Amino acid sequence: MSLDALLPNLGEWLRGTGPESDIILSTRIRLARNLADIPFTSRAEAPQKAAVLRRVRDALAKANLPYTLQYHDLAALSPLDRQFLVERQLISPELAAHQGPCGVAFDPRESVSIMINEEDHLRLQVLRSGFALEDAWQDINQLDDALEAHLPYAFHPQFGYLTACPTNVGTGLRASVMLHLPALSLTRQLERTLRAIQKIQLTVRGLHGERSHALGDLYQISNQVTLGKPESRILQELREVIQIILAGERQARQLLLQEQRHVEQNRVARALGTLGSATLITAEETMELLSVVRLGIHLKLIDNIPTTVVNQLFIQCQAAHLQKIVGHTLDGEERNVARARFLKDRLRQLGPQPS
């Protein structure tokens, strides 16, 4: 099945539904797992990696899961297709760059994905729209149990699950919540908030994971510690912090509306004006401007653009998606032209903006 069939879909993480979706785009939980009888990916030979692939696929076939999985051998995919999967959050940039045998399986909703031969043999991931730690946990726990029934996981009675990187040992669990925090950012309260978060052993990153800065005011907040606490406590601690940030962003949005409604309205109108008129635009600037529009929608400063359209534009303006839409590869400069044309056309279809 060609990946192009995914193009019209928003995927789970941009569906825009789910609890608190005015601020929280998505919740993600991943579990790192390894087979006990094969060296970690970085030390495994190609035949060993191929064996991991085969055994995991067998286990998936035997597991009685409530969804069907689509499997893709990454070696068979073009760099463009790999990047496309990264943009849809179905694989990590690390897996996309992996040279040996590796693959990914995911469900039609793009809610569950299983990366094989990433840093660990198995990276199970569940994505949920909005703030849904409990649902995501139930889904991934079910998937993990189903696979464990057929695969000998590397597990140590004292340490727990063993992983390639010591920071994942124990539960192997990382839970991340992707938040849109434009108002905290605008009102300069964000830095203080994020400093506080880091003190309590949570990690803050941008959209594309480690080393990416927070483009478009999108922040991923996740647990740092995987060892010495049960999963339920890791999730509970994260949940509490997210609730505090959520309240802070809501309050900051109210303040913006009360104190500088006109300034904000102007910013939103100009962002739409630029998106609809530029003839060259980078993915980064597009994300920044869509972030402004998204806030404008939730502040009810514009009403003729649905959030889902913003989410669609957000993903469709990424490099690989854009090239798939156009139907051929484009260099950086050509992408800036194609992106601008695409945005202009899409916004024109929505009709004139209110004044």
Q: Which residues bind a second copy (CB under 8 A)?
A: 262-263, 265-266, 269-270, 272-274, 276-281, 333, 337, 340-341, 344, 353, 355
26 is in an annotated binding site: yes
CA 243 from chain centre, in angstroms, equals 19
DSSP codes, 14-66:
GS--STTTTTEEEEEEEEEE-BTTS--GGG--HHHHHHHHHHHHHHHHHS--S
29 is in an annotated binding site: yes
User: How would you classify residue 116: left for phi > 0, otherwise alpha for psi between -120 and 50, otherwise beta?
Assistant: beta
178 is in an annotated binding site: yes
Distance CA 85, CA 70 (A): 13
Nearest residue (CB) to a second copy, 103 versus 182: 182
Q: From the CB of 303, what's the least distance to a second copy, in Å? A: 15
276 is in an annotated binding site: no
* DSSP-assigned letter for residue 214: -
Q: From the CB of 290, what's the least distance to a second copy, in Å? A: 15
Distance CA 160, CA 144 (A): 14
Nearest residue (CB) to a second copy, 99 versus 349: 349
Please give the backbone phi and psi of residue 329, each rounded to the nearest 5 degrees, phi first.
Answer: -75, 150
Nearest residue (CB) to a second copy, 156 versus 270: 270
* DSSP-assigned letter for residue 251: H
Q: From the CB of 261, what's the least distance to a second copy, in Å? A: 10
Q: From the CB of 262, what's the least distance to a second copy, in Å? A: 6
208 is in an annotated binding site: yes
Q: Bridge-partner residues for 35, per DSSP?
A: 153
Nearest residue (CB) to a second copy, 189 versus 265: 265
Q: Bridge-partner residues for 70, per DSSP?
A: 106
77 is in an annotated binding site: no
For residue 65, give both structure tokens: 């899961």
176 is in an annotated binding site: yes
Q: From the CB of 339, what's the least distance to a second copy, in Å? A: 12
Helix axis angle for 283-298 and 231-277, nearest 10°, is 100
Nearest residue (CB) to a second copy, 142 versus 265: 265
Distance CA 92, CA 53 (A): 17
Question: Apex CA 300: angle with CA 219 and CA 308, to 5°?
Answer: 60
Q: From the CB of 259, what's the least distance to a second copy, in Å? A: 14
Nearest residue (CB) to a second copy, 247 versus 280: 280
Neighbours of 67 (CB within 10 A): 13
41 is in an annotated binding site: no
Sheet holding 173-180, edge to edge: 70-73, 103-106, 112-116, 122-129, 24-33, 173-180, 218-223, 202-205
Q: From the CB of 342, what's the least distance to a second copy, in Å? A: 11
Distance CA 248, CA 179 (A): 12
30 is in an annotated binding site: yes
Nearest residue (CB) to a second copy, 279 versus 349: 279
Binding-site annotation: residue ranges: 26-30, 123, 174-178, 205-210
**Residues that constitute the known binding site for ATP:** 26-30, 123, 174-178, 205-210
